[in-house]
Structure 1
Amino acid sequence: MKRMDQINVIPFIDIMLVLLAIVLTTATFISEGRLEIRLPESKGQNQPEPLPSLEIGIDAKGDLFLDAVPLTLDALGPRLDGLARETPIVLRVDAAARFERFVAVIDQLKARDLERLSILTRRP
């Protein structure tokens, strides 16, 4: 009896080539995901009014601003207490500001479950 020391991979390669041909053939017929859908018109419902956003700023010296009005970190908490959870908040922090000031503001927001936050940056 002849001893087999090798595995014959030629049938495996043949099957893979057939599967590759099938995939490439069907891929050319697949749409690019653009569906032509014409949405119906609705006259009965109004669009919900968007909530006004709140802007918090920290300058290079670490001073805190709420909608361009200067205030302290202790005064920020009571101003945030009456906000709805869905209120969009924009945070502008100077690149030279201390990170601990940023973290303190984030802690104030998290303590009040205000998580709809945008942190503004600029592209280089």
Structure 2
Amino acid sequence: MARRVRRIKAEINVVPYIDVMLVLLVIFMVAAPMLQPGVVNLPSVDKADRALDVKPIRVEVDAKGTLILADGAEKTEIADADALVVAVKARTVSQARPVVIAADKEVRYDAVIQVMNALKKNGVDRVGLAVQPQK
């Protein structure tokens, strides 16, 4: 009797891979509508405080980093953040007034945050940033 030589088939069985891919496709198709791509809910401008019965105190930071305290028509140059806090506290003794920081766009972000932080640490509750609307 002659023995028959068996040859090994060099084929890859792709059926299990196709089954796995179809299952993954179905999972992603079901899960994709449930994902929200980075939605940020911003507050509406209509709900912001618009009616102020007092004028805010304006702190100006020019391109060189000089602090100027503007209260109405009166402008005073301030040496540092500590002197600014003392001057703002003196103007807000009788009533709580908001403070608006107006900084030149060439000023470093760190300088503006230091002014804001000094005001917040010393009890000034309402501190905001002044911006110019786009044309």
TM-score, with structure 2 as normaliser: 0.48
Q: Which amino acid aligns with 1:62?
A: G
Could you tell me which residue of structure 1 aligns to residue 39 of structure 2? none
The 2-side partners of 1:111 and 1:53 are apart by 19
Measure how far apart 1:56 and its partner are.
0.4
Paired residue for 1:88, among 93, 98, 107?
98
Q: Distance in 2 between matches of 1:95 and 1:107?
A: 19
CA drift at 1:97: 0.5
After TM superposition, list the pairs within 5 Å mapping 1:79-118 onto structure 2: 79-82=87-90, 83-84=92-93, 86-118=96-128
Are 1:71 and 2:81 counterparts? no
Letter in 2 for 1:76: L
Point out where structure 1 has 5 or more consecutive residues left out of the alignment. 1-48
CA offset digits 1:26-70 (Å, max 9, x no partner): xxxxxxxxxxxxxxxxxxxxxxx9334211000111111001321
CA distance in 2 between partners of 1:99 and 1:55 (Å): 18
In structure 2, the partner of 1:51 is: 54
The amino acid of 1:65's aligned partner reads I
Local SS of the residue matching 1:100: helix
Q: Which amino acid aligns with 2:61?
A: I
Q: In structure 2, what is the Cα distance between the partners aligned to 1:93 and 1:114?
A: 18
Question: One-letter code of the match for 1:55?
Answer: R
Larger Rg: 2
User: Displacement, 1:92?
Assistant: 0.5
> 1:81/1:118 Cα in 2 relative to 1: closer, same or farther (>3 Å)?
same
SS class of match (2:77): strand
- The residue type equivalent to 1:72 in the other structure is A
> What is the identity, as a one-letter code, of the residue corresponding to 1:91?
I
Runs (5+) with no aligned partner, structure 2? 1-51
Q: In 2 relative to 1, CA 117–77 (structure 1 residues): closer, same or farther, beyond 3 Å? A: closer
Measure the CA separation in 1 of the matches of 2:120 and 2:102: 17
